[in-house]
Amino acid sequence: AQSVTQLDSQVPVFEEAPVELRCNYSSSVSVYLFWYVQYPNQGLQLLLKYLSGSTLVESINGFEAEFNKSQTSFHLRKPSVHISDTAEYFCAGWNSGNTPLVFGKGTRLSVIA
């Protein structure tokens, strides 16, 4: 069965420090991978996605993720975080067709001033 694993449930980090949120997927999951962000009391927002092509994808707010097929990973990174980045981050994988997303359990990013 396909699965997506987020290794860290919580990641505290000081403001302006770099951060990496880890995500690994099972090999049965196709190469469609997503990161979603959920700010407190809000719904999910698409942060970035990998469908094909360049393995490095970027979001408009400074996050990036790299698809690594050999390591079956899609880690999310940001070189310098802000207080406003405090949120829950979900990695998700998708097989294809009309199948639903498979979610990781989420990583709570807490940025400390």
Per DSSP, 100 falls in state P
Q: Who contacts 77 (Cβ-Cβ below 8 Å, separation ≥6)?
A: 18, 19, 20, 21, 63, 64, 65, 66
Nearer to other proteins among residue 43 and residue 70 (C-beta)? 43
Which listed range, 11-19, 40-48, 54-62, 79-87, lies at the site for other proteins (CB under 8 A)? Answer: 40-48
Task: Provide DSSP, 19-52.
Answer: EEE--EE-TTS-SEEEEEEE-TT--EEEEEEE-S
CA gyration radius, the chain: 13
State the nearest-atom distance from the C-beta of 50 to other proteins, in Å: 11
Task: Give the one residue of 27, 43, 60, 70 binding other proteins; rule: CB under 8 A.
Answer: 43
Q: How far is CA 19 from CA 31, 80, 109, in A?
A: 24, 7, 9
Q: Does 32 bind other proteins (CB under 8 A)?
A: yes
Q: For residues 70-99, which are near other proteins according to CB under 8 A?
A: 90, 92, 94, 96-98
- The site string for other proteins over 47-66 (x = CB under 8 A, - otherwise) reads --x-xx--------------
Binding site for other proteins (CB under 8 A): 32, 34, 36, 41-46, 49, 51-52, 90, 92, 94, 96-98, 100-101, 103-106
